[in-house]
A and B are shown apart, each in its own frame.
Chain A
Amino acid sequence: MTLWILILGGLFVLALVTASVKSYKRNRTLDEYMLAGFNIGPLIGVLTFAAALFSAFIFMGMPDMFRTQGVGAWIFLAVSDGAMVFGIIWFGYHIRKKVKTEGFKGVSGFLSGLYGSKWPGYLFFITAFLFLVPYAAIQIRGISIFFSATFAGVLPEWAWALIIVGIMLVYAEIGGFKAIVYSDAIQGTVLLVVIWLIGITCIKAFGSIESLFAEVERIKPELLSVPGPNGLFTVQFLIASFLAIILIPVTQPQLTTRIVVMRNFRSLSRMAVSLGAFAILIILSTVFIGMYGAVKYPDATTAEFLSSALLFDQKDMVGALAMVGLFAACLSTTNAQIFALGTELRSLLKGSDKKVLTTTRIGLFVFALIALGFSTLMSDELALLARTSFTGTSMMAPVVLFAVLSKKTPPRAILFFSATGLVALLLSLFHLIPQEISGIRLDFLLYIYLAFGSLAVAALEVFRSKRLS
């Protein structure tokens, strides 16, 4: 397998270098460096969106979630992703319309401009920082535990993490957003191919899909229905996850930016439909890998299960491709998140292009170092940690939606609801307030709070404008 890893890994690094060099231009503008000149077509669009969205969390988190929590994981992610792509068309149209008149450097700056105040931008940036850094750290953590479990004794976990962050920083600093988008396209393709090669091997190990599910039914039938063996997939959990996931394009800046930089609405539309199909394909394969693990490795740890199912039970070439695919998935999501923080920072800065670019590049380096530090503190529950990131940023949805949908200056009162929602969520994550009140999950309650808050603010605005007219 080592030879295959060297060959495929070498080809992958060569592709990354090519993407960086092709994207490098000596006299490029700041918009070319940070936003690829707003000219991304549908094919590259779907691959970069998928690579930024589907990460180590899909590759490692989802098979493990299917293995330990059961088929409810399909509702948790695939159904929510289906609804999310519908939302991309709706939200994409409105934000792109606004961007045409207001311009766009990053979501934070965009919000500050529309609200006529720096505070919405700061609030969005702080939220993105608080929830994207741990999310990026999850990817780094995921891949480093996997690599150190696979190559026991070769390098410690922190060294693997350092290698990933190092590669990511080099090509992001050289090639900018365009290099990231091209490398995402390579990584998205590798991810789809490798996950299906592994999925097919897992089905073949049992002869057919029927035999695979029959075996799961014999061993642990609770995996075949909700709420699953540990009772995770309750209706409340699934609804709260659904809301967090459909709001990803609205509140996770790396994805909002990818909607804005699409060449035109036609490209965005094609990207959204293809993304839906891509999501179903990729998540379907993780069902089979997870069910395979439920039968073969029911009591194994996450790292043991993943290294066996993804590597050692595969043919050498597939195992090597899995290593490269995992590395690619981790790299693409991490760089999308770190670069998005750089874009957000840039959108809040003022001064000459040269000065802003230098500060942004230093910012990228600092964000990457913080994510690296965090990665040593994370737990192994990748899918649930990713969900926490989605939930956290989704608290900003009312602020973004009011900005995008309001015809006049959006009402600043909405900031109060999003900010208090964010504070309540943070307090619950640090166990300073309960995560459940009278049997109702706090995240579920917070969505109700934000919905009523938004309705109240909207009603007040209508009343005010009627009185003025």
Chain B
Amino acid sequence: MNKTRKSRRYNILILLALLLSVLTFTPLVIPYGEYRPSLFHLPYTLWTGLIVALLFVCLTWLAVLLHPGKKEEES
């Protein structure tokens, strides 16, 4: 994969991380006073928050794979 394409994909990941950060503070993840629907018996904010945290870790993993300066730094 050439560096420009890698760089573009890495920038998309940064945008996705920013979008996820914004979504976290909307009623989609933290509705005031609501704890239903539950998933595997976990209250709403807990399971949506768990998914958000896992998504951040996945984005980090992808960012590692697609980091445009990875080779440059190692050399």
Contacts and interface: CB of A to CB of B under 8 A. Distances in A.
B42 A209 contact: yes
Interface in B46-75: 46, 49-50, 52-57, 59-61, 63-64, 67, 69-70, 73-74
B29 A75 contact: yes
B25 A225 contact: no
Given A85-B56, A239-B25, A74 B64 contact: no
B39 to A, nearest CB: 11
B53 A71 contact: no
Contacts of B55: 82
Contacts of B67: 89, 93, 265, 269
A86 B60 contact: yes
A378 interface: no
Contacts of B73: 93, 96-97, 264-265
A277 B43 contact: no
Contacts of B17: 83, 86
Most buried by A among B14, B17, B43, B53: B53
B45 A226 contact: yes
B29 A264 contact: no
Contact of B60 (A97, A224, A272): A272
B57 A276 contact: yes
Contacts of A97: 69, 73
Given A225-B33, A265-B70, A265-B73, A83 B21 contact: yes
Contacts of A225: 31-35, 43-45
Interface residues of A, number: 47
Interface in B11-42: 14, 17, 20-21, 24-25, 29-35, 38, 40-42
Nearest to B52: A79
Interface residues of B, number: 39
Contact of A276 (B20, B50, B60, B69): B60
Contacts of A217: 35
A102 interface: no
A197 to B, nearest CB: 21
Contacts of B20: 83
A74 B60 contact: no
Given A82-B55, A264-B73, A265-B74, A226 B60 contact: no
Contacts of B59: 86
Contacts of A284: 50
Chain A facing B: main interface SS = helix
Interface in A437-464: none
A90 interface: yes
Contacts of B24: 75, 79, 238, 242
A266 interface: yes
A224 B43 contact: yes
Given A225-B35, A280-B57, A287-B46, A90 B63 contact: yes
A264 B30 CA distance: 38
Given A75-B24, A97-B73, A272-B64, A82 B30 contact: no
Interface in A213-230: 213-214, 217, 221-222, 224-227
A82 B42 contact: no
A217 B55 CA distance: 28
A72 interface: yes
A235 to B, nearest CB: 5
Nearest to B44: A225
B56 A89 contact: no
Contacts of A280: 50, 53-54, 57
Nearest to A217: B35
B56 A276 contact: yes
Contact of A89 (B31, B35, B64): B64
Contacts of B29: 75
B52 to A, nearest CB: 5
Interface of B: 14, 17, 20-21, 24-25, 29-35, 38, 40-46, 49-50, 52-57, 59-61, 63-64, 67, 69-70, 73-74
Given A235-B25, A280-B57, 18 more contacts: A71-B43, A71-B46, A75-B30, A82-B56, A82-B57, A90-B63, A208-B41, A213-B42, A224-B46, A225-B32, A225-B44, A225-B45, A226-B30, A265-B67, A265-B70, A273-B57, A273-B60, A284-B50
6 contacts: A85-B60, A86-B17, A213-B43, A225-B35, A238-B30, A272-B60
Q: Top 5 A-B pairs ranked by shortest CB distance?
A: A82-B56, A276-B57, A224-B35, A210-B41, A265-B73
